[in-house]
A and B are shown apart, each in its own frame.
Chain A
Amino acid sequence: QQKVQQSPESLIVPEGAMTSLNCTFSDSASQYFAWYRQHSGKAPKALMSIFSNGEKEEGRFTIHLNKASLHFSLHIRDSQPSDSALYLCAVSMFVGDNSKLIWGLGTSLVVNP
C-alpha cells in the first residue's frame, strides 16, 4: 500500500523567502507526482506535476523529483502572502487505466508580510 508523507506539517516564512516543501512516497514504481494548493475554504488546485527524475520550473515554483530517494519537493522562490495555503502532494502508481492519486496530509504554509 503506497504511503505518502509530507514535511513539515506547518511552516511560517517571511515574505520574499525561499520555501521548500517535501514529500516522500513508498513505492518506487510510482509514475506521476503532483503538488496541489488549497486556499482556505477553496477547492484544491493543481500547481505542478512531473513524471520523470529531474526538475521543472514554472515562474516562482520549482518541482524536483528523485525517484531513487523516493522523494519530491516543491520550492517557492520569493514567497508571497498570497502563497499562504495548504499544500498537498499526490502520487499516482500508473499513468493509465485505473490509476489513483494517493495524497499526503498537507503542509500548511503561512507567508508573513
Chain B
Amino acid sequence: NSKVIQTPRYLVKGQGQKAKMRCIPEKGHPVVFWYQQNKNNEFKFLINFQNQEVLQQIDMTEKRFSAECPSNSPCSLEIQSSEAGDSALYLCASSPQTGGYEQYFGPGTRLTVL
C-alpha cells in the first residue's frame, strides 16, 4: 500500500483565495509529481521534482501555481488566487526511480473553489 500522505483531504476556498496543499512522499523516493484530476477523470501533469529541484512543469503552474519540495519538510502545492476552474482532485505521487516511471499515489486533496 502506498505511503504517500496528502493533507488536507478536502479544501474549500473562495475565488481569489490562496489554496495550499501538502504531500509527504514515500521515504526514499527521490521524485515527486503533482497532478490535477478533473471531474472528467482527466489527469493533468502539473510539476515534478527530483529531490528539491524542479524537473518539469507546465505553463499553468508558472503563473498562479507554485510548488516546492524542501528537504526535511513536506512538499507543497499552492494556488495563489483560486479560480472556479481549479476545483479538482490534486494528486501527489512519488517514485523510487530517478526516471519516475513507477509512481505511488497519495489519496489526493479535493479542492472546491466556490
Q: Chain A: residues with CB nearer than 8 A to chain B?
A: 32, 34, 42-46, 49, 86, 88, 92, 94-101, 103, 105-106, 108
Contact = CB atoms under 8 A, between A and B. Distances in A.
A42 B107 CA distance: 6
Q: Which of B40, B99, B104 has the most chain A CB atoms inside 10 A of its CB?
A: B99
A105 B4 CA distance: 23
A86 to B, nearest CB: 6
Interface stretch (B11-19, B41-49, B61-69, B71-79): B41-49
Contacts of B48: 100
Contact of B105 (A34, A45, A99): A45
Contact of A105 (B2, B41, B91): B41
Contact of B2 (A43, A92, A95, A100): A43
Given A44-B105, A95-B101, 8 more contacts: A43-B106, A44-B91, A49-B101, A88-B41, A88-B43, A100-B48, A100-B100, A103-B45
A93 B55 CA distance: 15
A103 B56 contact: no
Nearest to A95: B99
A92 B43 contact: no
A43 B108 contact: yes
> Main SS of the interface on chain B?
loop
Contact of A101 (B2, B41, B98, B103): B103
Interface residues of B, number: 23
B48 to A, nearest CB: 7
Q: Which of B48, B91, B98, B100 has the most chain A CB atoms inside 10 A of its CB?
A: B100
A84 to B, nearest CB: 15
Per CB-CB distance, the 10 closest pairs between chain A and chain B, nearest first, are A103-B43, A43-B105, A99-B99, A92-B101, A106-B41, A32-B101, A44-B105, A43-B107, A96-B99, A95-B99
